[in-house]
Amino acid sequence: MAELNGRPMQEQQTSNEPGEFPDRDAARMAAREPLPEMPPARADLIGVTDADLDRGEQAFKQQQHDEILRGLDVYAEAYSGKIAEINQINLRLGDNMLKQVAKVKESITTMWLLGAGIDGKQRSDTAFVEKSERELEKLEHTT
């Protein structure tokens, strides 16, 4: 027995007697038979004649072409306006962000100045106390 991809091949029946082929083989044979002559496929256009179709095809060549182009221009202009609006909104958003950054920078600068003032006051007070202690020690030693 012959093998195909390592599997034994089943022998096909060759009888022409009806009823001896399995349903699968009968369907295969029916698929190989030519179909009866059929008219070419057409859309079912009720009330439309071939002359109407010919005129429609000719009209499309210029009139509909121009209308399609005008429609695309309107479409592009509509989105161009929307994009311009988005750009304006983004500029406002950017301005608001810069204002907030400026406020934060101002707050940080204020905090730094306050910290520097506190540090300066602490050094000044420490220097005053140390000087006062030295002067008091001098007074105590002289008595």
Q: Amino acid identity of 95?
A: D
Give residue 16's pLDDT: 54
Q: Which residue has the higher pLDDT, 23 or 73?
A: 73
**pLDDT on residue 129:** 96
Phi, psi of 4 (to 5 degrees): -130, 120
| 80, pLDDT greater than 70 | yes
Percent of the chain with pLDDT over 90: 43
- Mean pLDDT score, 85-113: 97
> What pLDDT does residue 27 have?
66
Length of the chain: 143
Which residue, 40, 70, 45, is CA-closest to 56? 45
DSSP bridge partners of 3: 8
Q: Are 13 and 25 in contact (CB under 8 A)?
A: yes
Contact 2, 9 (CB under 8 A): yes
Query: Beta strands of the chain (E only): which ranges?
Result: 3-4, 7-8
Cβ atoms of 50 and 43 within 8 Å: the answer is no
- pLDDT tops 70 at residue 88: yes
Q: Say which residue the tokens 């929307």 belong to.
A: 82
Alpha helices in the chain (DSSP H): 23-32, 50-59, 65-142
Across the strands, what pairs with 7? 4
pLDDT digits (tens, 9 = 90+) for 16-70: 555 555 666 666 666 666 555 665 555 555 666 677 666 656 656 778 788 889 9
Q: Which residues contact 21 (CB under 8 A, 6 or more apart)?
A: 13, 15, 29
**Per-residue pLDDT band at 139 (split at 50, 70, 90):** confident
